Structure 1
Amino acid sequence: MIRAVSSISLGALALVLATPALAQTAPATADAQVQTDAAATAAPTASNDGLQDIVVTATKRETNLQKTPISISVLGAQALADRHVQSLYDLADGAVPGLRVATFEARQSALTIGIRGIVPLDANQPAREQGVGIYVDGVYIGRQHGLNAALFDVERIEVLKGPQGTLFGRNTEGGALSIVTKAPSGKFGLRATGGIGNYGAYNGDIHLDLPEVAGLSFKLDLVKQSQDATTKNPLEGQTGWNYYNRQGLRAAVRWKPTSTITNDFAFDIAKDKNSPFYSQLLNANPNGCVAGSQAAVAACTLPGTAYTSLTGTVKSLLPGVVVNGDSRMKTADIGVPQQPSIDKTHGFTNNLRWHVSDALELRSITAWRGVDATQWDNSGGAHRVPVVTLTAACTAAAPCAFSRYSLADLKQDQFSQELQAVGTVGAVDYVAGLYYFNEHVQDDAATPNSTGAIATLNAAGQVTGATYTTIPFCTGQTVATDTAFIGSAAQGCSIDRASEVHSKSYAAYGQATWNATDLLHITIGGRYTHDEKQGVLHISRNVNYDTNTAAATAAGYQPLDKTWNRFNPTATVAYDVTPNVHAYAKYATGYRSGGASSRTQNYQPFGPEDVKSYEIGLKNDLFDHRVRLNLAGYIMDRKNSQVDISSIQPFNGSSFNNLVTINAPGITKIRGIEADLTVNPLEGLTLGASYAYTYTHIPRIPITYTAGGQSTTVLQQFYIVYTPRNAVSGTIDYALPLGDSDTKLRFHLDGNYAQATQAFDQFATKADSSFIVNGRVGLADIAIGSGHTFGISAWARNLFDEQYIFRRDPSNSLPGAPTTNVSTGSISNILGDYGNYNAPRTFGLEGTIKF
């Protein structure tokens, strides 16, 4: 189950209770099943004593969730198992309403993660940062690549909402997502799980704990997950869409040379092979674009432009192309070349804790991590530019090329070192720390056309149809350079871009809580951060800027060499109204560093953005711990919001993705309320409901286009992506003892609703609303010997096979960006909206044995 600690006004509760149907089938953010680290207090399931305490580490120390003045949601091990969560993308169903997870179009392994309306559209670029910090065992993960790898033996996932700039640092404007894995126990234990599912799915994991010897305890985790494509590729031998095959290994050792020193070392390695969701053509020329006066077709308008006329012709669709905006396609209309993208991640983490005294514990967190990503994405097939005009000239000797194959490589290495001092002196609890982060990232990309159309002619030489064939691509077109710099996917291609970035971050922080009385607690903290970022655009549109300085100068290119300094303070006043009712008011700040867009010819830079947050909260344990109600309300003001302007531009026989990131002037407003309710009406039964309301508004931004020696400026409205105005979730969990044994019949059901959201900053077009139900039923703890147990369960995700578009792209339905005249737009590359449907219903059987 989910334990969401949110906090807010009674108006939020009223909204939850006003939607009883959703509340009964939607997920609670209250997980009474959280298992904690050996150093923390256990949090058992709800029992005759009511809802039990949950321990979190949001303040860098173990604290009771209900007495921690932060809005937090916690997913424990049992909650993750009940939802059959194998990777972070499985949280895209809305398990925590304030947390939004979306896959990047090109592959599943690069995830967009947002909290409270802080959601970057494209943080895939080396010089672009995330807005939510991702942490694994206290280690910051610098890139969103590889985030969808298989989860290891997770103890809990903490979702810390709101800016966490003081304790967690830069790039945590929206909050932080902290994954805590299970440490070695020092006792022998073996747990193995195996399962099968539809779409040829299977999964297995083994977790082995060895007894402590000479102060050393060892733990080994092995994970394997696989699923066949849910949308088939008609081209023989090619990968379909929504396929994955993940595997990973984690080895951990805990060393306790004395009773006061604990050292945890862990090594992990993982490999994720996957393919993107299929990008369907949802409609054809939905805005009725035709050449002539812009005013005559007002719907055919590209935001940010002031066209007076339109030129060109909307071409007919290729024979065989299917337009389907009503349902998820099981088989693509035209087969195209595609092989799996591959992400390889690795990491070394050393966590040393020395408990000097109750007044002082010293900690050191040292980590080396890295990811190598190779992207092979042909998700759009014939549904993206370039648009083919099928004529008699499209012959077997010269097929008319289409099917943009997005090929890219990324390699990242990072090192981080954090030193902490944590303790209590008199009435003051304190945390102090020093932090260092060093990252090197390089990437490249190419977008060749991979498929050709051959016209079928009748006796009169008229076109009557078409056949399709794979055409050669990436055959030695790479600009003269050190080809070792270009990765395996883009090798031999005409290179759209290749860039390299070095980033360093230094920080010092401190936070102290003065327990002024037994009831009043005042917290003050601050963090000083110094960031350095140097970036180079080696290649743009197959021009080597390292050697062709004249072309680089003509493009306006400048290397990135920036430093930023920030001080992020926080202050909280918390008051224990009663032993079971806690109120707080909090002020917090955060910032996301700037960078440059490698998807532009000039490596266009953009500055940092800053956020200030004001939050009030109320946490309640009522009716003898049978009811837990947490409420929160917040106001966030974001300055210099980073927003994106994206377009696909035909170039050199391919289609270049041009993406400009700018800082929006003025203040972006984000307002929200959150409510979480957990009820334990009787032994074994836990009900929960959670609600998040998020209002966002970016002031209109003046956008200037220059073409043909002319310029035009238009005020344009931008939007925050993947952020529903209303989101609701709920859960039902029931554990029924069978006989006198420990065997239980366990039942879980969760439902998750979210309103429709934008998928792109610059377009008002929304995707679909969603309502996803997941369920699990099984027998647990069946005794099969002395201390040995077995369990079996059946699970289903998206139980009712809900079909909704989570990403809708209208860019192929609108005129192109200005090229030769700011008053005239071309409609020659218009097809229609295209988008991605969610995953279909999946289900399976799973068995677990414990020794």
Structure 2
Amino acid sequence: MALRRRPSKPRALGVATSSALISVVYSAVPTLAQAQAAAARADEGQVQQVEITAQRRPEKLRDVPIAATAISERELEARGIANVADLAAIAPNVQVSQTPGNSTAAQISIRGSVTTNPALFWEPTVGMYVDGVYVGKMQGSVFDLVDLERVEVLRGPQGTLYGRNTLAGAINLVTRKPSGEFGGSATLEAGNYSAAMGKVSLDLPKLGPLSAAVGLRTEKRDGWVKTTPGSSVGELNDRDTRGGRVALNLDLGRNLQVDYRYDESRADQNSRFSQVVRSTVQGDFGFPGIVVSKGRQTTASIDGPSFETLDLKGHSLAVEWKLGEAGTLKYTWAKRDMAWRDALDLDGSPVLFAHTQRLSDYGQRSHELQFVGGVGAVSYVAGLFTFKDDGFTDNPQRFFGGAVAFDSRYGFTTKADSAFGQADLKLGPALTLTAGVRHTRERKSVDRFLAAGPAVLIPAGTAASTRFSSTTPLASVGYKLGADHSVYLRYSEGFKSGGFNGEAQSVIETTTPFRPEKVKAIELGSKSALAGGRATLNVAVFRNKITDLQQAVFTADGSAASNIRNVGKATTQGLEVEFGARPTADLRLQASYGYLDAKFDELIELGVNVAGNRAVVHAPRHTLNLMGEWTFARTALGTWRALADYAYTGAHYLYPYQLTVTDPTSQAAANTRIAGAGFINLRLSLGGISLGTAATGEAALWVRNAGDKKHVNNMIDFGPGFGNLTQAYYADPRTFGISFSARW
């Protein structure tokens, strides 16, 4: 595999897309002949029961012996959830942060397991799926999907049915299927910072055996950080994204269905402000000009390039063949391609001290064959899966006024094959036994080039390859104590793939692989329906034992990279509670709480076990979500609703640094500790508005981060070896606006 460079800017969707979207929104609604009801809503007498596909077949959430959270289409809209980044604290022991400087890459932590580095050679700890298709990397993982039907958050290892890189869990993004009937919806939204969003979804009438649906979404917002005259860009923390979707269904009779999906997401915006909150650069190196400021700043002066662009395209084709009583055979082919670029002025100041860029290209291909069925008391799913990917990153860096410049490049490939199976055996109406296993084989390769000015540190052609394999079993027992109460005990294993350090500083580091990280987990859970279906209560306790722990500690040596080793073991354990209630037809309540105790059992550095003096990262002890929705008036004009949504994430550390400073030349965990914080979002809506005989509408006022919490979401600490340069990345300030949507 040859190292290569590719163009650094993706194509834009263009003015035509936005114009077409707005045209549909304004012209289509009033002239439609067939009106449908308002947006689907939960049964006003009971808590809504969402179906999920956690076990590769549709099942009610309360019947699945897994700690899972499902969020329906109506709730996604009401709570303003547009992508994975909006899921922070919405489920117990789930924590989501945008990576430093970016808004299209996410750090997702479930039960204390996380991958923090967005570089392409790293594998995620949480698997993300779009309509059953695996999304391979953290870069580009934050994208808006049109027509989301539901989001499923599966906590705990999912290594049997989902496979590699689901050590912590999986997130399923499920889009709506074409209905075959003419209809649709459109939304326009405007807010402060000149924010504007428009989206439209259209179902077309069935044409013979073919049903089709299309959707478009566009969003723009000014940056809430303005820059001074002479800066390299006019603003930071802005938003400019576009997306589209096509869904086709070919109905070839009741036994054969063919589904095609295409989704596209693009972003072209500036980076997030790298606000320096700590620095000894001038005293250590005699380099002046670094601007240090405490508290959230809305004005900046920068001189370095600042941009973030994303061009993401995904295709999938699924063929489902029902074989009568024997079961259903399903084949899925998929490909996803991404061009992702960013540039950061890491010193956040009008001096050339630390500038970096990442110019990445990534592609993946997969095939999956599933057979789902049942015979008598046995239900089963079995399958084969193959996955290939390749990527390349060009990572130029400049430091100390340009006196030190690095040409850093790496490429990689992956080939993974697996076979899996799982079966449920019902021993009577109350008892169900489940067993499953998956075996995966992988081959990985890397090639690397690194130069510092004219000096070549790692010559072109430096390459290596390795092979891994892993077997991940599952066993569980489920027992129904009654029609509305069940308990389960579940043992499962999972793994995060190993690989090579694409940012290594030497030939030896480049060619030395790190092994897969593995987990063995046990979970005890209970799921109940209470008060005749007016309330639900789900509780789970768990204990995870992690081995071959992959750790990367930022060293600030050379071209700002990390060393990666399998350094030890960790234990995470905790409690999760989810509660939902409909005390009356007009009041809906939800609450979830997660408690997490995470610690290192062994962490070897330079031959010494330092587990007792290292911070476990992205593992807040407490997460809490409270949501209430009140229908307080039904009038001739429409139905009035008020919603309040509160999410709290406890304090946590960002890097596995020393808790007690014993080595003053190394970073201290306290310098990048994120304080606990709660955010509240509010929404007031008037729904069911009659738009003649053609459609119904909804108008809403909303505010996010209503308390204007000045909260640091993420940080980078370069450490004493690099002048203690520490940047903070703040959460968005209070945003508010109005939206109007129509359905027909």
Q: With structure 1 as the length reference, what TM-score do the two structures score?
A: 0.77
Q: Does 1:520 align with 2:431?
A: yes
Q: 1:316 to 1:781 in 2, by over 3 A?
A: farther
Whole-angstrom CA distance in 1 between matches of 2:104 and 2:676: 23
In structure 1, the residue matched to 2:503 is 599
| 2:199 counterpart SS class | strand
Give the alignment's Cα RMSD to 1 decimal. 2.4
Q: 1:130 to 1:833 in 2, by over 3 A?
A: same
Deviation of 1:284 (Å): 5.0
| 1:52 counterpart SS class | coil
Q: Does 1:330 align with 2:298?
A: yes
**1:609 is aligned with what amino acid?**
E
Q: 1:343 to 1:542 in 2, by over 3 A?
A: farther
Whole-angstrom CA distance in 1 between matches of 2:347 and 2:98: 15
Q: Does 1:668 align with 2:579?
A: no
Q: Does the 8 Å contact 2:474/2:490 carry over to 1?
A: yes
Deviation of 1:787 (Å): 4.3
Q: Does the 8 Å contact 2:417/2:441 carry over to 1?
A: yes
**2:377 is aligned with what amino acid?**
A
Q: Does 1:428 align with 2:339?
A: no
In structure 2, the residue matched to 1:226 is 220
Q: Does the 8 Å contact 1:241/1:379 carry over to 2?
A: no
Map of 1:33-72 to 2, 5 A cutoff? 45-72=41-68
Q: Does 1:748 align with 2:656?
A: no
2:446 to 513, 518, 535: 535
| 2:103 counterpart SS class | strand
Q: Does the 8 Å contact 2:314/2:336 carry over to 1?
A: yes
Deviation of 1:247 (Å): 0.3
Deviation of 1:417 (Å): 0.4
2:631 to 716, 721, 735: 735
In structure 2, the residue matched to 1:387 is none
Q: 1:587 to 1:280 in 2, by over 3 A?
A: same
**1:281 is aligned with what amino acid?**
V
**1:840 is aligned with what amino acid?**
P
1:645 to 545, 553, 565: 553
Q: Does the 8 Å contact 1:56/1:63 carry over to 2?
A: yes
| 2:122 counterpart SS class | coil
| 1:247 counterpart SS class | strand
In structure 2, the residue matched to 1:568 is 472
Aligned residues: 688
Deviation of 1:832 (Å): 5.2
In structure 2, the residue matched to 1:622 is 530
Map of 1:147-186 to 2, 5 A cutoff? 147-186=141-180
In structure 2, the residue matched to 1:803 is 710
Q: Does 1:658 align with 2:594?
A: no
Deviation of 1:834 (Å): 2.9
Whole-angstrom CA distance in 2 between matches of 1:56 and 1:619: 15
| 2:57 counterpart SS class | coil
**2:723 is aligned with what amino acid?**
I
Whole-angstrom CA distance in 2 between matches of 1:628 and 1:687: 11
Deviation of 1:605 (Å): 2.6
Identity of counterpart residues, as a percentage?
Answer: 27
Map of 1:92-241 to 2, 5 A cutoff? 92=88, 94-122=89-117, 124-234=118-228, 235-236=230-231, 238-241=233-236
Deviation of 1:241 (Å): 2.2
In structure 2, the residue matched to 1:845 is 738
**1:170 is aligned with what amino acid?**
R
Deviation of 1:257 (Å): 1.3
Whole-angstrom CA distance in 1 between matches of 2:539 and 2:608: 44
2:318 to 336, 351, 362: 351
In structure 2, the residue matched to 1:467 is none
Q: Does the 8 Å contact 1:277/1:379 carry over to 2?
A: no
1:252 to 226, 247, 250: 247
**1:617 is aligned with what amino acid?**
G
In structure 1, the residue matched to 2:329 is 362
Q: Does the 8 Å contact 2:484/2:529 carry over to 1?
A: yes
Q: Does the 8 Å contact 2:627/2:646 carry over to 1?
A: yes
Q: Does the 8 Å contact 1:107/1:274 carry over to 2?
A: no
In structure 2, the residue matched to 1:688 is 590
| 2:75 counterpart SS class | helix
Whole-angstrom CA distance in 2 between matches of 1:719 and 1:640: 17
**2:604 is aligned with what amino acid?**
P
Q: 1:609 to 1:188 in 2, by over 3 A?
A: same
In structure 1, the residue matched to 2:418 is 507
Q: 1:95 to 1:619 in 2, by over 3 A?
A: same
Deviation of 1:495 (Å): 4.3
In structure 1, the residue matched to 2:519 is 611
In structure 1, the residue matched to 2:26 is none
**1:729 is aligned with what amino acid?**
N
Q: Does the 8 Å contact 2:120/2:138 carry over to 1?
A: no
Whole-angstrom CA distance in 1 between matches of 2:641 and 2:452: 57
Deviation of 1:314 (Å): 3.6
| 1:109 counterpart SS class | coil
1:502-526 deviation line (CA, Å, top 9, x unaligned) = 1011010000000111000000000
**Bigger-Rg structure (1/2):** 1
Q: Does 1:263 align with 2:258?
A: yes
Q: 1:365 to 1:245 in 2, by over 3 A?
A: same
Q: Does the 8 Å contact 1:120/1:721 carry over to 2?
A: no
Q: 1:237 to 1:316 in 2, by over 3 A?
A: closer
**1:747 is aligned with what amino acid?**
A
In structure 1, the residue matched to 2:604 is 702
Q: Does the 8 Å contact 2:303/2:352 carry over to 1?
A: no
Whole-angstrom CA distance in 1 between matches of 2:710 and 2:111: 25
Q: Does the 8 Å contact 1:227/1:245 carry over to 2?
A: yes
| 2:555 counterpart SS class | strand
Whole-angstrom CA distance in 2 between matches of 1:807 and 1:680: 37
In structure 1, the residue matched to 2:307 is 340
Q: 1:102 to 1:420 in 2, by over 3 A?
A: same
Which structure is richer in relative contact order (CA contacts within 8 A, separation 6 or more)?
A: 1
Deviation of 1:552 (Å): 4.1
1:119-174 deviation line (CA, Å, top 9, x unaligned) = 1121x333221111010000001111211222221001100000000000010000
Q: Does the 8 Å contact 1:441/1:501 carry over to 2?
A: yes
Map of 1:538-553 to 2, 5 A cutoff? 538-541=449-452, 552=458
1:50-78 deviation line (CA, Å, top 9, x unaligned) = 22321110000000111110000112222
| 1:688 counterpart SS class | strand
Q: Does the 8 Å contact 2:195/2:220 carry over to 1?
A: yes
Whole-angstrom CA distance in 2 between matches of 1:720 and 1:442: 30
Whole-angstrom CA distance in 2 between matches of 1:146 and 1:809: 20
Whole-angstrom CA distance in 1 between matches of 2:221 and 2:48: 37
Q: Which blocks of at least 5 consecutive residues in structure 1 are unaligned?
A: 1-42, 290-311, 384-400, 453-472, 478-492, 705-711, 817-828
Whole-angstrom CA distance in 1 between matches of 2:267 and 2:426: 48
In structure 2, the residue matched to 1:84 is 80
Deviation of 1:45 (Å): 4.2
In structure 2, the residue matched to 1:19 is none
In structure 1, the residue matched to 2:652 is 757
**1:516 is aligned with what amino acid?**
L
Q: With structure 2 as the length reference, what TM-score do the two structures score?
A: 0.88
Structure ranking higher in strand proportion: 2
Q: Does the 8 Å contact 2:167/2:495 carry over to 1?
A: yes
Whole-angstrom CA distance in 2 between matches of 1:681 and 1:714: 53
Whole-angstrom CA distance in 2 between matches of 1:782 and 1:90: 28
Q: Which blocks of at least 5 consecutive residues in structure 2 are unaligned?
A: 1-38, 658-667
Whole-angstrom CA distance in 1 between matches of 2:308 and 2:705: 25
| 1:78 counterpart SS class | helix
Deviation of 1:424 (Å): 1.6
Q: Does the 8 Å contact 2:439/2:469 carry over to 1?
A: yes
Q: Does the 8 Å contact 2:178/2:247 carry over to 1?
A: yes
Q: Does 1:376 align with 2:326?
A: no
Map of 1:332-481 to 2, 5 A cutoff? 332=300, 334-382=301-349, 402-449=352-399
1:789 to 690, 696, 706: 696
